[in-house]
Chains A and B, each alone.
Chain A
């Protein structure tokens, strides 16, 4: 007979871990053009290996995530951003 004391939750308890609601940084700040020429700004959206962070982490809207991706790829083309890096930050 299992002891009666331990309570088994049928549905997993969802713990609010991530911040409440992510916002699209570009919409909020009213930026309309992501410039591929300043790497400092673009680097915020790359992880340590130089990969583009996914939307679920940065919270970007689809429209701006695509523009960001093209800007990063253009910056990589002219060697402002690395394709592969080990300690970017």
Chain B
């Protein structure tokens, strides 16, 4: 079970609950393929550094999950088919990346507690 990290950008014209719905769709897709979600981050509406499909902003979302390799292909097809998502990127987390991800999670949780 290797860990992967997917960042995807959603269309800014979507409403709040549509964003939640698309995220839920991908989360359910991972869970149905015996994947395990380890971390989720909602970066919200951010300005894109260049226009994608004539849009200047987008909803960013990050999902870190553990799954086996075969599942990734149809996960990507799922993204390709869904037109609400304008850009996505799946990255495999190696040794150092995993350690970094754990440190990042701890840092974010402490910040969340601090606020």
Binding site for B on A (CB under 8 A): 32-33, 35-37, 39, 74, 76-85
- Contact A33 B49, CB 8 Å, known A74-B91, A79-B87: no
Q: Are A74 and B89 in contact (CB under 8 A)?
A: yes
Chain B contributes a number of interface residues (CB within 8 A of A) equal to: 17
Tell me if B27 counts as interface (CB < 8 A to partner A).
no
- Residue of B49, B96, B97, B99 with highest tally of chain A CB at under 10 A: B49
Q: Is A35 in contact with B9, judged by CB distance below 8 angstroms?
A: no
Find residues 76-115 in chain B having any chain A CB closer than 8 Å to their own CB. 87, 89, 91, 96-97, 99-100, 104
Q: Is the interface of B mostly helix, strand, loop or mixed?
A: strand
Which residues on A sit within 8 Å (CB–CB) of B96? 32-33
Given contacts A33-B99, A74-B89, A74-B91, contact A79 B50 (CB under 8 A): yes
A78 touching B100 by the CB < 8 A rule?
Answer: no
**B99 pairs with A79, CB closer than 8 A:** no
CA of A88 to CA of B55 in the docked complex: distance in angstroms?
Answer: 20
Pairwise interchain contact B97-A33, C-beta atoms closer than 8 A:
yes
Q: Please give me the 5 A-B residue pairs with the lowest Cβ-Cβ distance, nearest first.
A: A33-B96, A79-B48, A82-B49, A33-B100, A32-B96
CA distance A37 to B50 in the complex (A): 16
